[in-house]
Amino acid sequence: AQSVAQPEDQVNVAEGNPLTVKCTYSVSGNPYLFWYVQYPNRGLQFLLKYITGDNLVKGSYGFEAEFNKSQTSFHLKKPSALVSDSALYFCAIVAGNNRKLIWGLGTSLAVNP
Amino acid sequence: NAGVTQTPKFQVLKTGQSMTLQCAQDMNHEYMSWYRQDPGMGLRLIHYSVGAGITDQGEVPNGYNVSRSTTEDFPLRLLSAAPSQTSVYFCASSGSSGNTIYFGEGSWLTVV
């Protein structure tokens, strides 16, 4: 079965430190991979995606993610966290013959001043 | 650019009442969908549409109806509201499967 896992419900980091939000997946075929961010009481906003090509993808607000096929991971990273990065982050994949969209359950990121 | 617009933003319903959540997009997207978001359960797909006149069920379709008479609009109807339908609802659209998805700002629904 195809699935997406975000193993951490919550991640806490200090402002200025690097942050990582983890995402792993299990699919057949080559997936498209996405990260979205949700600020409090708002809709989800697109951050970045991997379709093909360079495994390191750069996105909005200084975020980046690395597609690792051998580890089936697509972790979201940022070199220096800001308090304003505190939000809920969702990983998603499109995979399979039916190109079904599958969402992770989300990771709450708290950046402490 | 308006993007995806959904109304109302907040609504309180009594059990048994019906209502329609409106969703419109101005990006000429073929794909539209409705999700509900509940604590600890992430996003769950209610219904989706791959084009005007075509709709299909998602993971949690019971108690909801949709229609897609135009490319722009994709309303979600609650037929007889139940407390279990208290949730935040998001409408989304994309150009095709695998393309970036654009979300509305959400509709907070409480059923009492």
pLDDT of A98 reads 64
A29: left (phi over 0), alpha (psi -120 to 50) or beta: left
Residue B111 near residue B86 (C-beta atoms within 8 A): yes
Distance, in Å, from the CA atom of A94 to the CA atom of A50, rounded to the nearest integer, reads 10
Residue with the bigger pLDDT between A53 and B85: it is B85
Distance, in Å, from the CA atom of B17 to the CA atom of A14, rounded to the nearest integer, reads 47
Average pLDDT of the residues in A35-54: 92
* pLDDT at B98 exceeding the cut of 80: no
Is A43's CB within 8 Å of B98's CB?
Answer: no
pLDDT in tens, B34-58: 999 998 888 999 999 999 999 999 9
At A29, the pLDDT band (50, 70, 90 cuts) reads confident
CB of B100 less than 8 A from some CB of A: yes
Q: Output the six-digit token pair for A108.
A: 């709450």
pLDDT tens-place string over residues A56-86: 999 999 999 999 999 999 999 999 999 999 9
- In a 3-state reduction of DSSP, which class is residue A110? strand
Section B45-74 average pLDDT: 95
For residue A60, give the 3-state DSSP assignment. helix
Nearest CA in chain B to A100: B97
Report chain A residues whose CB lies below 8 A from the CB of B3.
none
Min Cα–Cα distance to chain B from A16, Å: 28
Q: What is the mean pLDDT of chain B?
A: 93
Shortest alpha-carbon distance between residue B69 and chain A (Å) = 23
- Secondary structure (3-state) at B84: helix
